[in-house]
Amino acid sequence: MDLSTLNDKQKEAVEWPDGPILVLAGAGSGKTRVLTTKLAYLVNEEGVNPYNILAITFTNKAAKEMKERAFKMLGSDAYKMQISTFHSLGLLLIRENYDKLGFDKNFTILDSDDSLTIIKKILKDMNLDPKVYNPRAIRNKISSAKNELMDSNYYSRFANSEYEEIVLSVFRKYEQKVLKNNSMDFDDLLLLPIKLFKKYPDVLEKYQDRFKYILVDEYQDTNEAQYILIKMLSKKYKNICVVGDLDQSIYGFRGANFRNILNFEKDYPDAKVIPLEENYRSTGNILNVANDIIKHNKQRKEKNLWTKNDNGPKIRYHRAYDEKDEANYVMEEIKKLIISGEPKSSIAVLYRTNAQSRNMEETLLRENIPYKVVGSFYFYNRKEIKDLISYLKLIYNSNDDVSLMRIINVPKRQIGPKTIENLATKALDKGVSLYEAIDSGKELEFKKLIERIKKESENISLTELVELILTETGMRKELESSKTLEAEVRLENLEEFKSITKNFEENNGVISLEEFLLEISLVSDMEEHKNNNDVVTLMTIHSAKGLEFDHVFIIGLEEGLFPHSNCLDSPDEIEEERRLCYVAVTRAKKTLMLVNAARRMLYGNTNCNPPSRFIAEISDEYLEKDEKEEKAHFNKEEMIDKTAEYSVGDHVIHDTYGEGVVVALGSVLSIAFSHPYGIKKIMKGHKSIRKV
């Protein structure tokens, strides 16, 4: 078998004979190539029966790619191997032993929605309010427990609060219900095989004899259940080859335990460790930066990426004035790349949180540079943002039937499709809008809520109005109670919407819901270049893992943003943030730009954050620094005079509307101007107005 295209370390990993082997595969070091070549080598050179080989990946996509590569090298023998995800393997083991686990042959697999439906029914039967005991949060707790190999009996040891006691009760009823229905959920696909092997050692030995050679990809991402399953299967022959990179372990929030790869040599004392350090992706300077950053982690295995590629240009570091200046700077650099002939698809902008995409999106739209947002919707197309805008539209125009239909049951108010259908019939019969047709039931409570918010909106700013909607409608409470990562991201996006209102207020001075809705509609309705493949990519760093781009911009490199404020008090979480930065840096092939802002409005608040500690960890010899912090076109705070005081009856002059009289006070001023302007709401203290 020809291995001449492999480097020495890759070749060593492929040719290593029986026994445990840990391949520490650095970013861009060709790990997939090593794995698939080793599969072929075992069959062609070592004479291993392909039926005795198990290869495990984390995604269906990765499993498919491995099968295709194996087929090219082995032909039909590739199909005799078990190449699958962890969950597919679990399903195979259950299918072949369902009776021993207490199931009938025709058992069913519950998806996440099915599980949620069962939990909702249990809560209803227990007379528990789903707004207090969020079904998704409880489902996630049960799922996390199962992935830590806990059943309800074991979980009872940790139920030391009223809330946890409720979760425990639901957990027990859930287990009973699922078993009674001859079904299992996604987490059971890992939990049940482990139970099977513990109860029936002979069954375990059967599969140990079948899977004499085991290969595992992305070992640093394994959770407790996956780790135990592999450990049990490999115990007899110990022919286990795991490939991974501790420095790219970034899924701790999903239950991944990086210590599994860290402890591999403890689990297998005679293990051979082979580092793959030669990188085929990036320039020397990019790798130097990556090495500088990651070496500050204490919990890692020593490894130093290097390349035969040129050093390439230095990594550029720019400190912008604020988030808009940051977006403008990146946009100008992107334009330079495009003008020089670089495809747009070779450019990526990476960020720590989803909410950061907004400024980049708006800037690229303004310049008509096509882009795509990977792993998320375009900011204005995100469900929670559309819901919030629908509330604003309904407050502005109660006859907006489309907006009302969207939010009348958001959050859930027990207003179902039948009620809405009856309401639509009533509105049609009377020849009025849906809003006008409301006169009873839960719908009337919703109408009263809108009326109350509308009344309060008369003397408050747009930002305060958004806050009022989030609080009074229950949108924020619903997301906070969910306690899921998805809910957390949605809440961040809603908070980021306040940055939009605040910018509008500070830039314009005038508080006009009509003008604001008009402005955001112009942005949200712009062409999104959906059918264009040659587009700039915007994505979170988590979404970027496994990908590569010629030109990478990492934005928002500030303390509190990256590393994230939620992680600052935990050394373990800081190390995961540093690994995340390492992943971001190693996505770049040719050029890398690190960008941050001296001041940033995020979630409606302006903060002055110091540069990320990750910048300071990079040697100056690899950086081209631009830290002038040039001022933006104007200082927003200079637009507001916080000492300005007004009373009803005060005469003022406005730069646009001329003379007027203050007629109402609040966080905003209501000022009556001459025809044709009428009454306008103006930010209190805005420099566009002054007393006469």
Question: Which residues form the catalytic set?
Answer: 31-32, 217-218, 248, 587
Pairing of strands 623-626, 315-320: parallel
* Secondary structure class of 268 (helix, strand, coil): coil
- The encoded tokens of residue 14 equal 């492929």
**d(C-alpha 567, C-alpha 571), whole Å:** 8
Helix axes 383-396, 462-472, angle to 10 degrees: 110
21, 284, 380 from 617: Cα distances, Å: 32, 17, 36
Element (H, E) at 601: strand 600-602
**d(C-alpha 78, C-alpha 74), whole Å:** 6
**d(C-alpha 418, C-alpha 318), whole Å:** 56
Contact 682, 689 (CB under 8 A): yes
Helix axes 135-147, 162-180, angle to 10 degrees: 80
Contact 500, 466 (CB under 8 A): no
For the chain, give the number of residues.
692
Contact 319, 621 (CB under 8 A): no
Cis peptide bond upstream of 20, omega within 30: no
Beta bridge pairs of residue 469: none
CA dihedral 670, 673, 675, 676 (to 10 degrees): -60
Question: 145 exposed, middle or buried (CB, 10 Å; 0-12, 13-18, 19+)?
Answer: buried
What DSSP state is assigned to residue 688?
T
* Secondary structure class of 110 (helix, strand, coil): strand
Residue among 501, 520, 519 at smallest CA distance from 462 = 501
| Ramachandran quadrant class, 546 (left: phi over 0; alpha: psi -120 to 50; beta: rest) | left
Extended beta strands in 170-305, E state: 183-185, 213-216, 240-244, 272-276
Main-chain dihedrals φ then ψ at residue 473, nearest 5 degrees? -80, -20
Helix axes 201-210, 188-199, angle to 10 degrees: 110
Task: Name the one residue in this structure whose structure tokens are 């947002």.
Answer: 373
**d(C-alpha 500, C-alpha 306), whole Å:** 44
Collect all residues with Cβ–Cβ distance below 8 Å to 144 and sequence separation of at least 6.
255
Residue among 28, 22, 31 at smallest CA distance from 58 = 31
Residue among 452, 473, 462 at smallest CA distance from 503 = 462
- The encoded tokens of residue 160 equal 């030391």
Contact 323, 609 (CB under 8 A): no
**d(C-alpha 76, C-alpha 99), whole Å:** 32
Question: ∠ CA(526), CA(530), CA(533), 5° rounding?
Answer: 130
**d(C-alpha 248, C-alpha 587), whole Å:** 12
Question: 107 exposed, middle or buried (CB, 10 Å; 0-12, 13-18, 19+)?
Answer: middle
